[in-house]
Amino acid sequence: MKEQIARVQAEALEQIAAAGCIKELENARVAILGKKGSLTQVQQGMKDVPKEDKPAVGALLNAARSAISAALETRMQELQKQADAAAVAGVDMTLPGGSLPAGGLHPISIVREEAVRILRRMGFTLADGPEIEDEWHCFDALNTPPDHPARNEKDTFYFDSGKLLRTQTSTVQARVMERQAPPVRIICPGSAFRRDAIDATHLSAFNQIEGLYVDHEVSVGDLKGTLEYFLKALFGDDTAVRFRPHFFPFTEPSFEIDVLLQATGQEPRWIEIAGCGMVNPAVFENIDRETGKSLYAGCTGFAFGIGLERLAMIRWGIRDIRLLIENDVRFLAQFQ
Ligand code: DAH
C-alpha cells in the first residue's frame, strides 16, 4: 500500500507538470482526484489495511493529497499567467487610449445660457412657473378677453380638466406679481406650446425668455434701450434691429421686434424674434384684485417675450427652425 501511494503520487505530480493548458490540467485533476481517480482508488484500499497500520497509511495518504493539491494550485497559477500573457501579446500597453466622442450642448441651450447671462448682468433675476397652467394665469390675468383667438381650442392644447399647456411664458409675469411686491425685475426661460402648423419658422413646442420690469416711471425708452442693448450684446454691435407697432392685450403700447436673419445662400430677411410693450395697467389691476392688495397701483413697467429658436437662427444663420428638433448629429455636431 505504501509503495502504491508513493507511485500514484509520483505519477500524479508528473501528470500535473505535463499539463500544457488549463483544460489539460482539469482533466488531470479528474484523473487523480475524481470519483475513479488514481488517488481515490488507492484510498479505497484503506479498508483492507490492518488496524494497527491504519494511522501511518492514513498519514501518508493525507500527505499525498496535500502535495497533489498544492501542485495543482501552483500549475493552475502558472497556466493562468501564460493565458493572460497570450491574450495581450502584441498589444502595446503604453499607447494612449482612444478618445470617446463627447456630447455637447444643444444650440438652444447655448443661446439660452448666453441670453440669461447677459440679462442677469443687467439686473434681472431668474423666475419660474409651470408648463401646465390654468386659464387665469395664461389669459385672464394678462387682460386677454374670453373671445380672444389665442384662447381658441384650435390654437391651445387644453386638458379635459380645463387646464392647458401654456401658450406663452408670460404666465410667469402673473405668477411673480401675485407673490411679490414691486419692484420686479425677472426673466423666465421656458417652453411654450401652440397648435401651430409647423414650418420653417414655427414649431408647436418652442422656447421663450420672458422678461418683466416693474417700478415707478419706467418708460418706452427704458424698454427700447434694454432690448437693443441685449440684442447687440448677443449678436454684435452692428446688429440691425427694428421695432414695429403691434397689439398684445397685456401691453400698451406694444411692439414686435425684428432682427435681420442672414442665412447662407439666402437673401437677408427680417424675422420676428420678440414681442414687447409697456405693461397694460389692466394687468396690474387684475393682480391687485386677485390678491386683495393694492401693491401695483401707480406702477409702470415693460415686458417682453423672446423666441429662443429664433435667436439661435439669427446667431448661426440657420434657415429652417425644424433643423433644431430633428436631432441630426451632423447638424448638432457643428455647435460643439
Ligand atoms: N407672449 C407673447 C407671445 O408669446 C410675447 C410677448 C409680447 C411677451 C409682449 C410679453 C410682451 O411679455 O410684453 O407672442
60 contacts 42 by C-beta, under 8 angstroms: no
Does residue 280's CB lie within 6 angstroms of at least one atom of ligand 1? no
Residues 15 and 140 grouped into a single domain = no
β-pairing verdict for 269-279 and 300-307: antiparallel
User: Measured between alpha carbons, how far is 101 from 220 in angstroms, rounded to an integer?
Assistant: 49
Whether residue 183 has a cis bond before it, omega within 30° of 0: yes
Looking at residue 299, its pLDDT comes to 97
Is 257 inside a domain boundary? Answer: yes
Looking at residue 153, its pLDDT comes to 82
Is 94 inside a domain boundary? Answer: no
If pLDDT is split at 50, 70 and 90, which confidence band does 179 have?
very high
Closest residue (by CA) to atom 3 of ligand 1? 168
Cell numbers found for residue 233:
450684446
244 contacts 274 by C-beta, under 8 angstroms: no
Is 230 inside a domain boundary? Answer: yes
Closest residue (by CA) to atom 14 of ligand 1? 275
Residues 134 and 173 grouped into a single domain = yes
Tell me the residue range of the domain where 51 lies: 2-87
CATH number at residue 248: 3.30.930.10
pTM: 0.73
Does residue 305's CB lie within 6 angstroms of at least one atom of ligand 1? yes
Instruction: Render pLDDT for 274-329 as a digit per residue (tens, 0 to 9).
Output: 999 999 999 999 999 999 999 999 999 999 999 999 999 999 999 899 999 999 99
Residues 49 and 111 grouped into a single domain = no
Residues 330 and 184 grouped into a single domain = yes
User: Measured between alpha carbons, how far is 76 from 16 in angstroms, rounded to an integer?
Assistant: 9
Final residue before a domain boundary, out of 38, 58, 87? 87
User: Measured between alpha carbons, how far is 36 from 65 in angstroms, rounded to an integer?
Assistant: 15
User: Measured between alpha carbons, how far is 67 from 7 in angstroms, rounded to an integer?
Assistant: 13
Residues 71 and 124 grouped into a single domain = no
If pLDDT is split at 50, 70 and 90, which confidence band does 139 have?
very high
Per mean pLDDT, which range of 63-67, 133-137, 218-222 is the poorest? 63-67
Residue given cell 373671445 in the structure block: 147
Does residue 257's CB lie within 6 angstroms of at least one atom of ligand 1? no
Is 102 inside a domain boundary? Answer: no
The H-or-E segment that residue 165 falls in is strand 164-165
Mean pLDDT rounded to a whole number for the chain: 93
255 contacts 246 by C-beta, under 8 angstroms: yes
Whether residue 149 has a cis bond before it, omega within 30° of 0: no
Instruction: Render pLDDT for 88-118 as a digit per residue (tens, 0 to 9).
Output: 888 888 998 888 888 899 999 999 999 999 9
Residues 140 and 30 grouped into a single domain = no
Residues 170 and 241 grouped into a single domain = yes
For a ligand 1 pocket test, name from 248, 284, 308 the mutation site with the most ligand atoms within 8 angstroms of its C-beta.
Answer: 248
Residues 13 and 67 grouped into a single domain = yes
User: Measured between alpha carbons, how far is 168 from 70 in angstroms, rounded to an integer?
Assistant: 78
Residues 296 and 147 grouped into a single domain = yes
Does residue 307's CB lie within 6 angstroms of at least one atom of ligand 1? no
Cell numbers found for residue 274:
420678440
Residues 166 and 70 grouped into a single domain = no
Looking at residue 150, its pLDDT comes to 83
Does residue 144's CB lie within 6 angstroms of at least one atom of ligand 1? no
Is 100 inside a domain boundary? Answer: no
Is 95 inside a domain boundary? Answer: no
Looking at residue 45, its pLDDT comes to 86
Instruction: Render pLDDT for 54-94 as a digit per residue (tens, 0 to 9).
Output: 898 889 999 999 999 999 999 999 999 999 998 888 888 89
Residues 178 and 64 grouped into a single domain = no
Is 164 inside a domain boundary? Answer: yes
Give the total number of structural domains in the chain: 2
Final residue before a domain boundary, out of 56, 87, 118? 87
User: Measured between alpha carbons, how far is 8 from 24 in angstroms, rounded to an integer?
Assistant: 18
66 contacts 39 by C-beta, under 8 angstroms: no
If pLDDT is split at 50, 70 and 90, which confidence band does 333 have?
very high
Residues 226 and 77 grouped into a single domain = no
Is 216 inside a domain boundary? Answer: yes
